[in-house]
Amino acid sequence: MNVIETHALAKSYRQTRALSDCTLAIPAGHVVALVGPNGAGKTTLLNLAVGLAVPTSGDVTVLGGRPAGSPAALDAIAFVAQDTPLYRNLSAADLIHETRNLNRRFDQCYAEERLAELDIPPRQRAGEMSGGQQAQLALTLALARRPELLVLDEPMSSLDPLARIDFMATVMATVADDGVSVVLSSHVLAELERVCDYLVLLSRGRVQMVGEVDDLLAHHRVLTGPASDFERHVDDWNVVQASRDASRVHLRVRCDGAFDPVPAGWEARPITLEELTVAYLRHPDATALPGPSRRRSVEVSELTK
């Protein structure tokens, strides 16, 4: 089952094209990192998936083919938006009451127990809480709906490091205990590397890279060798990004299948998720989509110091 599936999905806001020809299938059972630069279309894609926006063209379904925004889809999806928006004048108890009344499925006992564990007083207003408490309250309200899919749109952007750790610990405990699928949009790449096992990279409103993290990492390498030897070998590799220091070049390359022997004087090592993501972000014309890669070599003039 695919938790989010799109076909030729496009969304425009007046003259601005936020998504264009976005075709994507995210399988269930993953913690998915949704990554891309500002303006890439991440929030638009999530809003379309949870029914907060309507496509300009194309279609989007969730949880095995349910139309996005339909009652069947809304019952099974929980969404925590940017900055964890809450009614600041309402108390935690009031927000639990309102959320229960607005949803056909809501586990009030779970919500109340979670607040007790977090030491959040039921009568404390949301506007009086710390950023970490607000984020945990919003997450608690979402999880109490017992969703099949949890969608998080940069919910930790304003949290300090400890609050982010606590927030993600709650998410991962829910994944382990209840088997919830998660789609998480974030700019904190090191954080995503610890928790996510599936990656979707958007750039210019299109899907640039998608797949299981382990598979993507296995099909890329970092090569380091003498700058004087660069031009002789560069056409042999599918180079995604290249940089150099005084005497050596550092290449992030894609390989489909077994990696060729490394030439004398060169070194190869596994790539990290952060290095992989940054390489594609720096070169939005490069793609890592299912199927054979298109060989791309770089010129000396493209090397960044």
Hey, what are 261's tokens? 């022997």
- Distance CA(54)–CA(128), nearest Å, equals 35
Predicted TM-score (pTM) of the model is 0.88
Residues found in the chain: 305
List Cα–Cα distances, 189 to 18, 35, 201, in angstroms.
23, 8, 12
- The pLDDT score that the predictor gives to residue 301 is 45
Give the residue extent of every domain in the chain.
2-214, 219-302
What integer pLDDT is reported at residue 259 of this predicted model? 64
The pLDDT of residue 216: 93
Give the span between the Cα atoms of 186 and 189, in whole angstroms: 7
Q: For 21-54, what is the HEC assignment? A: EEEEEEECCCEEEEECCCCCCHHHHHHHHCCCCC
pLDDT score of 182 = 97
CA distances (Å), origin 302, targets 13, 251, 277: 34, 12, 18
Whole-number pLDDT of residue 224:
93
Please work out, in degrees rounded to the nearest 5, the angle formed at the alpha carbon of residue 153 by the alpha carbons of 189 and 33.
40
Residues of the chain with pLDDT under 50: 299-301, 305
Which pLDDT value is given to residue 298? 52
Asked if residue 253 lies in contact with residue 237, where contact means CB atoms within 8 angstroms, the answer is: yes
**Residue 72 in tokens:** 């069947």
The architecture of the domain spanning 2-214 is 3-Layer(aba) Sandwich (3.40)
Secondary structure (DSSP) of 188-252: -HHHHHHH-SEEEEEETTEEEEEEEHHHHHHTEEEEEEEGGGHHHHGGGSEEEEEEE-SSEEEEE
